Structure 1
Amino acid sequence: MQPANPYVNISAYKFVTFNDTLEKRSQFRALCEELSLKGTILLSPEGINLFLAGLREQIDTFLTWLRADQRFADLEVKESLSDRQPFTRMLVKLKREIITMKHPLIKPEEGRAPAVAATTLKRWLDQGHDDAGKPVVMVDTRNAFEVDVGTFDNTVDYRIEKFSEFPDVIAAHKDDFEGKTIVTFCTGGIRCEKAAIHMQNVGYDSVYQLEGGILKYFEAVGGAHYTGDCFVFDYRTALNPKLEATQTAQCFACRAVVTPREQLSPYYIPGKSCPHCQKEVRAELQEA
């Protein structure tokens, strides 16, 4: 009997020297097609970043093949399950960076910022301070529309539109965090890994990254100290703290996140428009 949620969705990344991306691209693509996997794999000289979905046996076969390469032998993977394939196609892309920050001197492979495990972070947030007695401040490194779907309570959110804006914004607010411990976080850990290194480079003396990001936090401790869901880049749009798909959607036309309440609007036509589109249209008409 087939399980109710037969599709395994995995996300993973690793910063590691990967200079043969061009040669490896065809191998990745051929294997994923053979295994009927779908999603996106980014290959870069600084490492790998992937989001894939398929049946359990095929996913396990892919990971066994990938980990046979010593560079990825210790690749850690975050999993969730779904009742259908969340991706429509399979892409293997070559990129300059696996997450664009436009700071080439930041090289996580050469040394990470300290990481805090989900269980430790929950304990810090429960008690209101870290183990040294310093207040803990959460800093969201994601884009504004992702934050709007859900984030940690009392988080610092600078409303950035793309990750490459983060370095200048956080450098300009250094004095705001005097005497505090900062924990940077993102969906799966990749953005906050670069963010924490940059913060150390510009003089922050007590900064951590959340190991494995929000998804690992959900997996380990659930939704404690977190309000809302976590945006993900596939048809599910958002996952709740149980790593289940929610009713949140994303507009095909303008790419805005559409909440269940907003989906009741007559302007929400799946695949065509949403209330956010209508606001933009009205604003343009008023300006005209």
Structure 2
Amino acid sequence: MQTAPSESPAAVVVAALYRFARFDDPAALRGPLEQLCRAQGIRGTLLLAREGINGTIAGTSEGIARVLDHVRALPDCAGLDVKLSSAAAMPFHRMKVRLKREIVTMGQPDVDPRASVGTYVEAGDWNALISAPGTILIDTRNDYEVELGTFAGAIDPETASFRDFPAWFRRERERLLGSGKAPRVAMFCTGGIRCEKSTAFLKQEGIEEVYHLRGGILKYLETVPEGESLWQGECFVFDQRVSIGHGLVQGSHGLCHACRRPVSAQDCASPLYEEGVSCPACHGERTDEQRASYRERHRQELLAAARGVAHVGAVIETG
């Protein structure tokens, strides 16, 4: 049984998990999985598709262990990728198991990570690879994630969605890799799942020497000592913790509940920031009517908190 790092026996266990597998009937898997999660008091989001399972859940150590055992018993899921951490409080409002077309949306139906992916690189070997001359390092995450932190020297595609990554690479390929023999390409993401697809995509595009960080940034921050780290900043996570740092400790960022983007202390000091309503990034994207709606929602959330009950209006999705 896998255990999570925890500073206190009462700490909430957070499990980020995924597995590319063949589910002939994902709808049939949904009910039993959701029923078990609810019975164990688990909250979070799990996505099921024909290509596998992905999500982040939180709960007691025993409850998480029971759910992980259940998932590992699903077809071709014995090798489930799981990264465990802890939180001081429950980081999710409710439990959802959703059926999706893809467990991570790239919009490239011919890309199959089960058939071909890049070469996995362990966290302890990552520094040597990305520091080697001739390595092109690409951050496959979205722009708001990269803004919080990334590896030194990484290329930021400045994409708003992972779906934009294929078009970005095809457009920038010659500038990045040249017209001769392609250099080695190393890519990384939060937990590893987006790199499964992005490296499979590059292999399909004819790039032979492709590498990715096994376990993603989360595994790197968990295992590589801060004094030896090439990571700069914090890592965005898709739950109420918002960001984490070395050792998987909770970071310094909050969340704008209007646009789901992270906010720093500087953002919160801006006249465009209003808790639960707007931040500097989204203030110009919303109308006065929308902000009024967010303001009322935030008021209801505060009232619910004062009564000691959960308000389910604000939910962070797993990405």
TM-score by structure 2 length?
0.81
Deviation at 1:97, TM superposition (A): 0.6
| Partner deviation per Cα, 1:139-195 (whole Å, 9 max, x = no partner) | 011111111011111111111111111112112222222453211111111111111
RMSD: 1.9
Instruction: Tell me which of 245, 255, 263 is aligned to 1:258.
Output: 263
Which residue is equivalent to 1:207? 210
Instruction: Check the 8 A contact 2:23/2:75 in 1, yes or no.
Output: no
CA drift of 1:66 comes to: 2.1
Deviation per residue, 1:14-66 (Å, 9 max, x gap): 11101121111000110000000000000000011021000111111111222
**CA offsets 1:207-231 (integer angstroms, 9 cap, x no match):** 1111111111111214511111111
User: Is the counterpart of residue 145 in structure 1 residue 161 in structure 2?
Assistant: no
What letter is aligned with 2:138? V
CA distance in structure 1 between the aligned counterparts of 2:106 and 2:275, rounded to whole angstroms: 33
CA separation in 1, counterparts of 2:75 and 2:26?
15
Q: Is the 8 A contact 2:141 2:159 kept in 1?
A: yes
Q: Is the 8 A contact 2:19 2:79 kept in 1?
A: no
Q: Does 1:118 align with 2:117?
A: no
- Deviates most, 215-224 or 151-160: 215-224
In structure 1, C-alpha distance between the alignment counterparts of 2:172 and 2:208, rounded to whole Å: 14
State yes or no: 1:68 paired with 2:73: yes
Q: 1:1-288 residue pairs with structure 2 within 5 A?
A: 3=8, 6-125=11-130, 128-129=131-132, 134-175=133-174, 176-178=176-178, 179-223=182-226, 224-278=229-283
The alpha-carbon distance between structure 1 residues 278 and 75, as it changes in their structure 2 partners (threshold 3 A), is closer
Overall identity of the aligned pairs, in %: 37
Q: Gaps (5+ residues) in structure 2?
A: 1-6, 288-319
Counterparts of 1:62 and 1:281 in 2: how far apart (Å)? 39
Check whether the contact 2:256–2:262 (CA below 8 A) recurs between aligned residues.
yes
Gaps of 5+ in 1: 283-288
- SS of alignment partner, residue 252 of structure 1: coil
Q: Which amino acid aligns with 1:155?
A: A
Pair 35,4 (structure 1): closer, same or farther in 2 beyond 3 Å = closer
CA shift digits 1:235-254 (9 cap, x unpaired): 11111122111220121123
Query: Structure 1 length as normaliser, TM-score?
Result: 0.89
* 168 and 222 in structure 1: CA distance in 2 versus 1, 3 angstrom threshold: farther
Tell me which moved more, 116-125 or 180-189: 116-125
